[in-house]
Structure formats: structure tokens, C-alpha cells
Amino acid sequence: MPAVRNIHKLIDFFSSFTVLPVDPDDVRDQILSYGIKDEIEFVGVDLDRRVMLGAFHQYISRAAPYADPVIHVDIYYDRSLPREWKRLVCCKELLHILDHSSSKAATRADCERLVSDMATLSLNAPFSVEKAHAWSDQLMLFYAMAVLLPWDAREILLEEYSKDNSRLADIVKAADLPEEVVKSVLSDRWPRLYAVVSGKD
């Protein structure tokens, strides 16, 4: 499926990044380089966090009646969110651009629950690509985690973290992501899930 291949290509592109934090603007620019959309803009708005943290709206515009159409996407995020959550939400919504399946907008509670669910996965529990793809919106969150905390950066940070757990606060600050996300990516369960979301399973 082209949409999934583009997501895998995006994750692979960022996988070798070791300098953090990964900028959502760079993620946007990389998506634009695929030629899927013409313009993508981040727009801070006032949202009810109990309803959603972010969303995207796509529309077509023309500079003149017979001009070529321009496919524009607005990525909406709750402007009152802490910066680390804004980054995660914006990246997650960006990845929806590459996903053709339907999905629901996630609230902060949804995101926190999904991260918690991922963190409790057992290495011995049944797990499959089919099950992963059934998650839909959950997958977008995991894709975003894989992009914003790339594999090579994780390997470097994991070595530091395994020697000294008190370094977690420094790692969270460097990654500029919610602590629960960083802890999940540094967990020994992440490689298995990463293999699925990166298309290497």
C-alpha cells in the first residue's frame, strides 16, 4: 500500500538522526518532498482537550480560475498544550496525511492511554502486523514516536539510560517529548513494536 510505504520511508529517513529534538517542520518538509501535498501549515487554535488535541483539514485552492490546483493541509493543534505535547500531536497529524484509512481524533487521555497500553505489552503476548494495523489511530501515535525519537538516537540514549536511570529527565528534555513517551521508547518492548511500525517485521 503506497500510504504505508510512505510512512515506512519517512521513519527510515529519520531513523539515522542522532541530534535531538527532531523538528516537526523537518517532518513536514520531508512529507512535502514526496509530492503528496503542495502546502502544509501548522495552526494553533483553541480546542477542548476533552474532545481532541489536534486535527487536520485538507482543501484545494487556485490562484486563478484556470490555474493549477494547490492541495493545502492545515494541521490544527491546541495552542495551550505544553510544547512537548504540541510536537507529538503535530507529528501524529502529519502522519495522518500519509494514511488513507479513517481514524478518530485523539484526546490527551487517548494518547496517554495508548502509550500506557504500549508500555504494558508483553514480549510473550501474541502480536502481529494484522493486530497493529487494526489499531488505526494508535498506529499514528506509534509512527510519530518512531519519527520523533529515531532509532539511532534511541540506541545512544538507551546506553546512557541503562547506566544511570536518573538521566531520564535530561533525555526527556533533549527529546522534547512527554516523559511517558520517552520511557516507552526506551523500554525493552519498543524494538518489537518498532519493527512493526517501520515495516521491518
**Domain containing residue 133:** 2-197
Q: Minimal CA–CA distance to 96: which of 151, 36, 23?
A: 36
Tell me, what's the pLDDT at 186?
96
* Rg of the chain (C-alpha set): 17
pLDDT tens for 19-46 read 999 999 999 999 999 998 999 999 999 9
Could you tell me the pLDDT band of residue 53, with boundaries at 50, 70 and 90? confident
Domain count, the chain: 1
What is the distance between the alpha carbons of residues 2 and 164, in angstroms, rounded to a whole number?
A: 42
Global pTM value: 0.80
What is the distance between the alpha carbons of residues 99 and 169, in angstroms, rounded to a whole number?
A: 33
Cβ-based neighbours of 177, under 8 Å, separated by 6 or more: 21, 84, 87, 88, 145, 148, 149
Q: Minimal CA–CA distance to 76: which of 54, 103, 59, 46?
A: 54
What is the distance between the alpha carbons of residues 134 and 16, in angstroms, rounded to a whole number?
A: 28
The pairing of beta strand 39-45 with beta strand 54-61? unpaired
pLDDT at residue 108 is higher than 60:
no
Tell me, what's the pLDDT at 49?
72
What strand order describes the sheet that includes 70-78? 39-45, 70-78, 54-61
pLDDT tens for 115-153 read 555 545 443 445 554 454 445 667 889 999 999 999 999
pLDDT tens for 80-102 read 999 999 999 999 999 988 875 44
